[in-house]
Structure 1
Amino acid sequence: MADYFFEEIIINILHRLPVKTLLRCTAVCKSWHSLITSREFTSSHLKFAQKVAPSLLLRRCIKSSERYELYSDDESFARFAAFQFPFRSMNSFFTIVGSCNGLLCLSDDRVYFMNTIVLWNPSVKKSVLLPKPNMIYNSHGSFLQYLGFGFDPVGSDYKVVRITYVDLATHPQIEVYKLSSGVWHDMSCLELDSVLCSRARPVYVNGASHWLARYLDLHDVIVSFDMSLEVFSTMMLPALRVSDDELRSRDLAVYMDCLALTLWSVSGAEQCFCVWVMNQYGVEKSWTKTFCFDFSSFGNEFVRPLWIRKQGEVVVVCQDGRLVSCDRGGGVVRDVGVRGHRSDTYQRSLDVDTFVCSLVLMERGRCSSDVATGNSLHSLQTDDGDNVGSSGSEHEKGSGKC
């Protein structure tokens, strides 16, 4: 009985340790290695980590490399860790499909579809290079591709859904990759009447990936893919006012763990930013216009919003590459201390998402990370025109919560 309580106390302590410390603990003895790398411990440690306020992951492309850094999602916006990025892209940088439970889904498809999709946990430096999907250029010619990524809480599995159109007038090919099986499954039999119409990153919330879509009559809707049920559903957008409908750009987002719609315009008479929130998931009447403010005070510096912080502040990228955070009324604008470059490549590479450090992929032992970071991936292109200033050393590994 004493031995049992001693083991229970050890596990209870280990649950509360950061990933970086746990990786060291795997070298203490075989039993600790077996425990920490087990699927059960990975899951229970993640639950503890999710109780702590998540960090913000900032991705930016500096010269010929991608930089992934963690920032505190509080008033300080302090950087406390930086991950070494091990992959090489044929495009200027990878597309971030999504972030879920410390796992990032990356696709090398910004301009050229390279059929390179990677699941990467930067905290434990492990990754999985997905096999080539069924539809590729060599077999089908040119096509449009849309990806989604998320977690199936019922099957405890991570999934990537891929929707490809050879002709927008025909039914798309639908494939689902499951980490548990390691293969693509053809799901083209699923009903999907509308056509996905936005290249913006999909939003994962409430166990489903979401995209903006459009019917042939030009009626816009939200399409979701449930990761557990593996079915598509359609939700209506909020009933926009005339002034809102004139805002030219719109994206889906997550605000306070709810599905949200952001609308903004940086040209013309209306230079505004608005956020509508679906307060009850799936209940279309619960759409509420949460806040809206005028961006004209930014002058011509404003480029686009990147993220809505938990306090309601909006992280915005400016023309000179700086990141600023403005309150939900648009009256207080604060420089968060991230310096960049005014080049289009740098600005488009900026991406912000919540992130929690986890042990996901540790239970898989020797992953295919060696394959994914070796010569099988093409070299990253260099943009010699980007002379980017930064707030830290190029080779800083960082330290902190992870």
Structure 2
Amino acid sequence: MIKQTKFEESPITVLTEDIILNILHRLPLKSLGKCKVVSKSWHSLISNPEFAKFHLQLCTDPPLTIALQYYNTFSRLENSSDITNNGAELIPLEYQFPATFFKTHFCFLIGSCDGLVCIYFKMKSVMVTKQVFKDMMFLWNPMTNERKEITLPKEPGHTYVKFKLCWFGSVPSIDDYKIVLVYIAYNYPSERRFVVYSFKDRTWRQMHDTLGDELIFGPSINLVFKNEALHCLVSHETICKFDLVRETFEVFPLSIPGFSQGSHSKMLGVLGEDRSLYVMFSQSPVNWLWEVWLQKEHNKWDSWRRLYNTSMELSEEFVLYCSKFLGFTYGGILCVQLMNELWLIDPTLDPPLYAVVKNPSYAKVFEVFDYVESLISPVSVLPQVNQSKVR
């Protein structure tokens, strides 16, 4: 056996940087954490913001499902794609936020994109805390547990944030991230602001458009992102669209047969690998008859086709205690809130199969969202400038 001398190079040292990068780009995220300690050069390569972007582009794993629960808890939904065997469970995520944040503030989700989660901390009532605190907003990467605070625009007096009409995400065609916030005054509903932050322009902007009133005060419970625009179900027959590139509003008719007749609850969302827009509505709180319509061609508002038409006569408990539909996971499983429980329903089966999620914290789930793990740093996407100014 021939011994290697101390001067002889090992096979790994003769690899070019391009070959090493090509290998590292294809490794799982957990393996990259171990690779960081191999050498200073590898640590530098993996820590580069461009490496994180390229690694995310090569990722083929489907998004995870994250649940936001009461008591300021974020949990990962495990085994949500297949509920036929052992069902699913909620596993709480670790935070890098001080415990004092949650004693003085309520936690709300603004959005999730590229492995980053935008969280808004709304101060609790002064009567409850006996102190005055400010609202705060952070970008947080649950994978790396790194966070960065975002300076908020100055609020117009005593206001609250309409969280279901707020949003954070990327706008790829202009290589930008944007945040949308809707502020409404407690005592004066006419005092409202629809503000947008562009990371590229490094400033908050207030939107002035008559259609913005419809968006802010519509009965929809959420904004939906599709093709670089936000969509909101304004009424039974109307969808409002906010173009994130041009920052303009448009209104389109919603042509679904029988949609306005006897609807008990309504929801707008995206579904499937191509993230097609869907509209879901239930027609009776007694037996929860519900339908899901999918848009066949984006921006063709008369191209809806019925995907499901299902009776949810699952159990007496479901009929009595179903609070609301939370939406679909990336894999097409419907999430439903029942009192303090989360139910998962597979609507593709007849009758629909359901499972009650194991929840160790027993905290009610009131929102679910897609999340893709990444190494992207909140610091790398957030400019280091004064962001409080509103134009």
Smaller-chain TM-score bracket: 0.7 to 0.9
Letter aligned with residue 62 of structure 2: A
Check conservation: 1:294, 1:330, Cα contact below 8 A. no
Change (3 A) 1:189 1:245: closer
Alignment CA distance shift 1:311-1:180 (3 Å): closer
Partners of 1:70 and 1:211 in 2: how far apart? 26
Residues 138-174 of structure 1: CA deviation (Å, up to 9, x unaligned):
x43446634122211023222101233456567x533
- Whole-angstrom CA distance in 1 between matches of 2:209 and 2:334: 40
Q: Which residue of 1 aligns with 2:118?
A: 105
Once residues 24 and 103 of structure 2 are traced to their aligned partners in structure 1, the CA distance between those partners, rounded to angstroms, is 40
Please give the secondary structure, in 2, of the residue aligned with 1:34: helix
Task: Go from structure 1 to structure 2 and tell me whether the alpha carbon gap of 1:83 and 1:365 turns closer, same or farther (over 3 Å shift).
Answer: same
Question: What is the match of residue 185 of structure 1?
Answer: 205
- Pairs within 5 Å for 1:208-227: 208-213=229-234, 221-227=238-244
Contact 1:149 1:209 in 2 (8 A): no
Helix, strand or coil at the partner of 2:302: helix
Q: Unaligned stretches of 5+ in structure 1?
A: 369-402
Equivalent position SS for 1:154: helix
Paired position in structure 1 for 2:81: 74
Match of 1:396 in 2: none
Q: Distance in 2 between matches of 1:83 and 1:341?
A: 12
| 1:23 paired to 2:33 | yes
For 1:245 and 1:341, the matched residues in 2 are separated by 39
* Greater C-alpha Rg: 2
What TM-score, normalized to structure 1? Answer: 0.74
Q: Following TM superposition, by how much is the alpha carbon of 1:321 offset from its aligned partner in structure 2, in angstroms?
A: 1.4
The answer as to whether partners of 1:323 and 1:338 remain within 8 angstroms in 2 is: no
CA distance in 2, matches of 1:318, 1:103: 29
Question: What is the Cα-based RMSD across aligned positions, in Å?
Answer: 3.6
Native 8 Å contact 1:97 1:202 kept in 2:
no
Which piece of structure 1 moves more, 283-292 or 89-98?
Answer: 89-98
Task: Give the secondary-structure state (helix, strand or coil) at the position aligned to 1:194.
Answer: helix
After superposition, what is the alpha-carbon deviation per residue over 1:198-247, rounded to whole angstroms, capped at 9, x for unaligned?
A: 47232222222322335xxxx752223333333333333233406x6312
Is this contact kept in 2: 1:274–1:292, CA < 8 A? yes
1:86 aligns to 2:93 (yes or no): no
| 2:336 is the counterpart of 1:323 | no
Q: What code does the residue aligned with 2:338 have?
A: C
Structure 1 residues 315, 56: closer, same or farther in 2, change over 3 A?
same
**Structure-2 change in CA distance of 1:74 and 1:267 (3 Å):** closer
Residue equivalent to 2:136? 116
Secondary structure in structure 1 of the residue aligned to 2:23 = helix
Whether the 8 Å contact between 1:59 and 1:69 is mirrored in structure 2 is no
Q: Which residues of 2 match residues 249-288 of structure 1 at below 5 A? A: 249-256=265-272, 257-264=275-282, 267-268=285-286, 271-288=288-305
Is 2:167 aligned against 1:148? Answer: yes
Percent identity over paired residues: 23
Output the amino acid matched with 2:305: T
Deviation per CA, 1:247-291, whole angstroms, max 9, x where unpaired? 2211211111111112125624x6222212122111101122211
**Structure 1 match to 2:225:** 204
Q: Which moved more, 1:161-170 or 1:229-238?
A: 161-170
Query: In 2, distance between residues paired with 1:169 and 1:75?
Result: 47
Report the secondary structure of 1:173's partner residue: strand
Using structure 2 for the length normalisation, give the TM-score: 0.75
1:98 alignment partner AA = G
User: Match of 1:55?
Assistant: 64
SS in 1 for 2:292: strand
Q: May I ask how many residue pairs the two structures share in their alignment?
A: 350
* Residue aligned with 1:233, SS: strand
Whichever residue aligns with residue 200 of structure 1, its letter is I
What are the ranges of 5 or more consecutive residues in structure 2 without an aligned counterpart?
1-11, 126-132, 385-391
- Is 1:230 the counterpart of 2:247? The answer is yes
The structure-2 alpha-carbon separation of the partners of 1:89 and 1:236, relative to structure 1 and needing over 3 Å to count, comes to farther
1:48 Cα deviation from its structure 2 partner: 1.4
